Amino acid sequence: MLKSFGELKAKVLAAGQKKVIALASAADEASLEAIRDAQQALGVECLFIGDNDSIIAMAEKVGLDIKSDNIIHTNSHQQAAELAVGLVRDGKADVLMKGQLPTGTLLKAVVDKDRGIRTGGLMSHVAVLESPSYHKLMFITDGGMVTGPNLEQKQAILDNCVTFAAGLGYNMPKVAVLAAVETVNDKMPETVDAGRLAEMNRAGEIGGGIIEGPLSFDLAISAESAKIKGFTSQVAGDSDIFLAPDIATGNILSKALIYLGGAKMAGCVLGAAAPIILVSRGASAEEKMLSILLAMAV
C-alpha cells in the first residue's frame, strides 16, 4: 500500500532504474517544466520530438538545458507522434509522453497496426490521486479512454489496473466497483455489471485483487459509513482501486477531488507496450511531473 506520491518517489529512487521518455511535440511549457523537475529529482532522460527552434526557445524559458543530440526535428504533430511512438517501439525510449499535440493524433500513431505499440488488448486510463482526505493513494479507472464500457470491457479495464498496481508492489488490491447504491437493481445496469464482476471474483474467474460491488463511493472510502449502513466488506473504507461505471463518472470524480478536495493527480494509459503519459494540455507541470513519476515506477 502506498500512502503518498512521496512514498512512490522513494520506491523509484530505490530501484535506481534510468528510463528514457519520448516527448511528442515537445514545445510545451508545462511538459518541459515537468521534464526539468524529473531530471533533477529522478534522473530521467528525455528525447524531444518536434520543431527544433520552438523546443529550444521554450526550454530556455523554463530553464531546461537540452543537448542538441536529444532533439529530433519534425514539421508536424503527426510526424512527431509517429517518431515518438517509433522510439518506444524500437526500444530507444521506455515511456511515451504527450506534449503540445491533440490526443487523437498521438493515439492514432499508438494503435497503428504496423508501426504502433498497441499489444492487442483494450487500452485504458488510470488516474492515481493523493487526497488529503484519504489514507492512501487512490486508483480511479477509467476516466480518460473508454467511454461507456460493457461488462467485458470493464473486466479488461480492471485487469489493466490490477496488473499496473502489481507492478507498484500491490499483492491483492481492494477494488470498489462504483455505483450509486450497494444493491443490484435491473433498472441500473452499472449495478448489474458490478455485481457480476464481484461474483466472478469470488468464483475465481477474475483474480489479482478483492472485488466488491456495487459500492457507493461513501462506502468505498469510509468504514464509518459502512458501519452505519450495516454493510460488511473487506473493501469498504479501504479501497485501492475505484472502477467507474463510465468515463464521465471517472473523469468527474477525479476532477472533483482535485479542484474541490485539494488532491494531487498523476495519469497514465495502460494496455500498450509501454506506459503512456497522456494528460490534458492544460494540466499543470506538477501533474505532468507526477505522471512521469508514476510511469517510472512500473
Q: Is the pLDDT of residue 18 over 90?
A: no
In the prediction, which pLDDT does 17 show? 84
171: amino acid identity, one letter: N
Q: Around Cβ 17, how many Cβ atoms within 10 Å?
A: 12
Q: Percent of the chain at pLDDT above 70?
A: 100
In the prediction, which pLDDT does 1 show? 86
For residue 129, give the C-alpha cell.
490521486
Average of pLDDT values for 43-57?
95
Reduced to 3 DSSP states, what percent helix, strand and coil does the chain have, rounded to the nearest 5? 45, 20, 40
Average of pLDDT values for 126-151?
96
Residue matched to cell numbers 518536434: 50
**What's the whole-number average pLDDT of the chain?**
94
In the prediction, which pLDDT does 282 show? 72
> What is the pTM (predicted TM-score) of this model?
0.93
In the prediction, which pLDDT does 281 show? 67
Segment 216-228, tens digit of pLDDT: 999 999 999 999 9
Number of Cα atoms under 13 Å in the Cβ half of residue 51: 11
Cβ neighbours of residue 249 under 8 Å, at least 6 residues apart? 143, 178
